[in-house]
Amino acid sequence: MSYESEKLAATLKAAREKKGLSQRALSARAGVPQSHISKIENGAVNLTVSSLTAIANALDLELALVPRKAAPAVRTITRSVSDTPKATPETRKEIIRIANQLAHIGSLKIDSPAFENLQRQFREMRQFENLIRNTDTLRSIREALKAVEDAGGVAALQDASRQMNRFRNTLAHGMADEDRTRLPRPAYRLDGDSDE
């Protein structure tokens, strides 16, 4: 087996393990016999295009022919995608607590567009949960939701919605609260810029 084939087989094996799939589970998804997957991963058989395509699709990978000059850029991008940070256990716990509170508020039958807006913002915020490192803001949102449960007022609902919206926007712009204080000072200023 050539070096490139070995590298490809190792990549497929790493992708399978990262997804937490056994060879048997991958076999069921890809429609390729488990024994053949084992031989591919061990370098005992040459990989055919049809097997490669089936296995790649089952692992949510995309096959593409890339110009050689663009290969370094593609490798850099794929490395950055595969190295994305995961949500911390503490973040996941806080998000589950917020989801439970939202479910409870929903059972109170508060008929308000603010509640629908709050639910939408929560779903959008969850898309960025892997960026959350400091759970203080999540706790603050949870406290605001407790006020909604206790008071049952639309004003408390709107306050919680504003907090979640600000936090979601901060995450969407890629800068958590704790990162704002660490921004480097620019090396130069344009005329008319203030030193704020």
CB neighbourhood size of 110 (10 A): 16
* In the predicted structure, residue 176 carries a pLDDT above the cut 50: no
Q: Is residue 10 one of the residues assigned to a domain? A: yes
Angle subtended at Cα 134 by Cα 17 and Cα 127, rounded to the nearest 5 degrees: 55
Does 157 lie in the same domain as 99? yes
More confident residue, 169 or 57: 57
Return the residue matching tokens 């370098």: 43
Mean pLDDT, residues 98-102? 88
More confident residue, 75 or 186: 75
* In the predicted structure, residue 8 carries a pLDDT above the cut 50: yes
Q: Give the pLDDT score at 108.
A: 75
Q: What is the 3-state secondary structure (H, E, C) of 36-81?
A: HHHHHHCCCCCCCHHHHHHHHHHCCCCCCCCCHHHHHHHHHHHHHH
* In the predicted structure, residue 40 carries a pLDDT above the cut 80: yes
Does 164 lie in the same domain as 127? yes
Find the CATH number of the domain harbouring 29.
1.10.260.40
* In the predicted structure, residue 36 carries a pLDDT above the cut 80: yes
The pTM of this model reads 0.48
Q: How confident is the model at residue 188 (pLDDT cuts 50, 70, 90)?
A: low
Full residue range of the structural domain in which residue 122 is found:
89-177
**pLDDT digits 0-9 by tens, 113-127:** 878 888 888 888 888
Q: How many domains does the chain have?
A: 2
Does 164 lie in the same domain as 113? yes
99/102 Cα distance (integer angstroms): 5
Residues sharing a CB contact under 8 Å with residue 187, sequence separation 6 or more, in sequence order: none
* In the predicted structure, residue 187 carries a pLDDT above the cut 50: yes
Q: Give the pLDDT score at 81.
A: 64
Q: Which helix (H) or strand (E) holds 168?
A: helix 154-172
Q: How confident is the model at residue 153 (pLDDT cuts 50, 70, 90)?
A: confident
Q: Is residue 133 one of the residues assigned to a domain? A: yes
Mean pLDDT, residues 9-23? 89
20/105 Cα distance (integer angstroms): 36
In 88-184 the beta strands, taken as DSSP E runs, fall at none
| Both structure tokens of 81 | 């995608």
